[in-house]
Structure 1
Amino acid sequence: MFAENKLTENMAEIEAFLLRERGKALSDAEWRFRMKGYGYNLRRTDIGVEVSRLPQNRVLGTISV
């Protein structure tokens, strides 16, 4: 998916992008909504936030927030 205007599958780059965007959002709901616009679906789990690629909803990994 896209992170910093380039296509990437590198989870470290995706995590860095998601956390930077989280800093810009006022709430978790806004953050999840913004990330759907970039093609990511975020779902909170017991171990962190599961990151999936849309529209296939293929899980890329989990980040801790």
Structure 2
Amino acid sequence: MFAENKLTEDMAEIQAFLRAERAKSLTEAEWRFRMRGYGYNLRRTEAGVEVARLPQNQLVGIFAI
């Protein structure tokens, strides 16, 4: 999916993008909403935040906060 305006499958780049976008958001709900706009679905689990690609909801990886 897209991170920083380029197509990537690299989880490190996606995590950097998620961190930057989280810093711009006031709440976690706003952050999740923003990420849906970029094509990512975020779901909090015990292991961290699952990152899935939309619209297939295909798991990309787990983002430990």
Give the TM-score, by structure 2 length.
0.98
2:23 is matched with 23
Runs of 4+ in 1 over 3 A off after TM superposition: none
C-alpha RMSD over aligned residues: 0.4
- Percent sequence identity is 71
Distance 1:58 1:47 in 2: 17
Distance 2:38 2:4 in 1: 10
Distance 1:63 1:33 in 2: 17
Distance 1:11 1:49 in 2: 13
**Letter paired with 2:32:** R
1:34 is matched with 34
CA-CA distance at 1:47 after TM superposition: 0.8
Which consecutive unaligned segments of at least 5 residues does structure 1 have? none
SS in 2 for 1:43: strand
Which consecutive unaligned segments of at least 5 residues does structure 2 have? none
Distance 2:26 2:13 in 1: 22
Distance 1:39 1:54 in 2: 5
**Letter paired with 2:47:** I
Give the TM-score, by structure 1 length.
0.98
